[in-house]
Amino acid sequence: MADGGYESIADARQDAGAYLMSYYDSVRPHQYLDGKTPAATEKSLNQLSKIA
């Protein structure tokens, strides 16, 4: 969160989205995904299905 808050809802949404796409999806392991990150799980699924 920005020091002193955000100037607008759009700024807060942008910051929250950046957090989700960086730390939450690529760094933080999830118990539901057997300790893998969402990004790692997506990569594995894409490789299995030959999407990426």
Structure-token pair, residue 12: 């807060």
- For the full predicted model, state whether its pTM sits above 0.85: no
Structure-token pair, residue 25: 């999806």
DSSP bridge partners of 30: 36
Mean pLDDT of 41-48: 89
Type of residue numbered 25:
D
State the CB neighbour count (10 A cutoff) for residue 50: 6
**Structure confidence by residue, pLDDT tens digits, 4-44:** 899 999 999 999 999 888 888 888 888 989 999 988 998 89
Structure-token pair, residue 33: 């995904």
